[in-house]
Amino acid sequence: MQDLKEKAVLVTGAASGIGRATAVEFAREGADPLILSDINPKGLEETAALVERLGCRTVILPADVSDYDAVKEMASVALDQAGRVDILVNVAGTAIISPLELMTMEEWKKVVGVDLFGALHTVHCLYPHMLERGSGHIVNIASVAGLLALHPYNAPYYLSKFGTVGFTEALMLEASAHGIGVTCICPGGVKTPIYDDSPFKGFDEEVREKVKKLMLASAEEPEDTARAIVDAVKKNRYLVVTTPVARAGYFIRRHFSLAWFPLMRAVSRRFVDGLEKYRVR
Ligand code: NAD
């Protein structure tokens, strides 16, 4: 899909961070209309204003991606109002940082519901529409955390993102036979509000700043991620890992797997020991 002019693009998680930057980047490429969805209506209005300033029409559809019925309704209104969805970009995401043993089942389900089932729900509702038309492109934003586990206390996120990578690969195998493009984006660190908004559990709040500093040391801007997304759609690339550090980690994990796990065990041990004094019991 080299020419994005007048393509109808639906972006979830469009109220902030990567989702907002992605909507703006598609609008810059001449996509029209931009269908913007999120649970945050105020953020959606702000994104819509940025997109409309570029001369692109918007359809604002607040929805919780973890709620299948809400997504079904949102997809149906999107098709009614825009007439079609050419490109679906699943960006909505969340995280909870906590030692595994403190996490409640509701917290596991919350993260998996948004980060994994959120993408499944929109695909379930819109992939048949793309099949009928024999064209389209689906982008799922996983993470480098879907290719390797980097640090302790983020288990529901790894569960969801490894699942998203597997789901997206399975989708790609089937969809490509029908002329539908599929892309899995695995960003490294990206400077977005997710590090401030995600709940922290079991630690003093000052740990948030330490983890944030660690994660953002090699981070890119959301606009960089957005450009990688648009570029991947234009070139029909399947797997895109952004940031040099994330690419290096993925390379080492694949090619030196015998060394990777002992190394990560040692690094994690230091991480766990270093945070021990901040544990709240
Ligand atoms: P962000 O917090 O800026 O944006 C996430 C958006 O998702 C927010 O607008 C939020 O309102 C929305 N959202 C949360 N729960 C939702 C729900 N139930 N239904 C609909 N929308 C919901 O964070 P971001 O960094 O832009 O994250 C976007 C995606 O990128 C996520 O999937 C995240 O896992 C992934 N990612 C982020 C990074 C990073 O370092 N920031 C790295 C790799 C992958």
- Does residue 1 fall inside a structural domain? no
* Those residues with Cβ within 8 angstroms of residue 221's Cβ, 6 or more apart along the chain or in another chain: 21, 190, 191
Q: What pLDDT, in 10s, does the model give residues 184-239?
A: 999 999 999 998 888 889 999 888 888 888 888 899 999 999 999 999 999 999 99
Cα–Cα distance, 26 to 20 (Å, whole number): 10
4 is a domain residue: no
Whether residue 182 is contained in a domain is answered as yes
Q: Are strands 9-12 and 34-37 parallel, antiparallel or unpaired?
A: parallel
Positions marked catalytic:
157
Please tell me the predicted confidence (pLDDT) of residue 43.
98
What's the gap in Å between 36 CA and the centre of ligand 1? 14
Which residues contact residue 109 at a Cβ distance below 8 angstroms, ignoring those fewer than 6 apart? none
Q: What is the extent of the structural domain holding 132?
A: 9-278
25 lines ligand 1 (CB under 6 A): no
Residue 160: predicted pLDDT: 98
Rounded CA-CA distance 254/186 in Å is 15
* Confidence at residue 7, expressed as pLDDT on a 0 to 100 scale: 98
> 8 CB under 6 A from ligand 1?
no
Q: Is 77 in the pocket of ligand 1 (CB under 6 A)?
A: no
Round to whole Å and give the CA distance between 46 and 49: 5
* Percent of the residues in the chain that have a pLDDT greater than 70, as a whole number: 100
Q: What is the C-alpha separation between 18 and 201, in angstroms, rounded? A: 25
CATH code of the domain in which 136 resides: 3.40.50.720
The kind and range of the H/E element at 46 are helix 41-52
3 domain-assigned: no
Q: How many domains does the chain have?
A: 1
Residue at 206 is within a domain: yes
What is the C-alpha to C-alpha distance for residues 31 and 2, in angstroms, rounded to an integer? Answer: 12
pLDDT in tens, 20-34: 999 999 999 999 999
What pTM does this model have?
0.97
Give the strands of the sheet with 58-60, arranged side by side. Answer: 58-60, 34-37, 9-12, 87-90, 136-141, 180-186, 239-241
Round the CA-based radius of gyration of the chain to a whole number and report it: 19
Any ligand 1 atom below 6 A from CB of 197? yes
Mean of pLDDT values over 100-107: 96
- Ligand 1, atom 37: closest residue by C-alpha: 190
Please report the pLDDT score of residue 251 as a whole number.
96
| Residue among 16, 35, 185 whose CB has most ligand 1 atoms within 8 A, to mutate | 16
Residue 66 in contact with ligand 1 by CB distance below 6 A: yes
The structure tokens listed for 222 are 């959301």
In a domain, 94, yes or no: yes
Q: Give the distance (Å) from ligand 1 centre to CA of residue 173.
A: 26
CB-based burial label for 29 (10 Å; 0-12, 13-18, 19+): middle
The alpha carbon of residue 272 and the mean position of all alpha carbons in its chain are separated, in whole angstroms, by: 27
Does the structure show a pLDDT above 90 at 100?
Answer: yes
Ligand 1, atom 34, residue with closest C-alpha: 93
Break the chain down into helix, strand, coil percent, rounded to 5.
55, 15, 30
Contacts of residue 278, defined as CB under 8 A and 6 or more positions apart, other chains included, come to 203, 204, 206, 207
Position 44 in a domain:
yes
Q: For residue 95, how far is its CA from the centre of ligand 1 (angstroms)?
A: 8
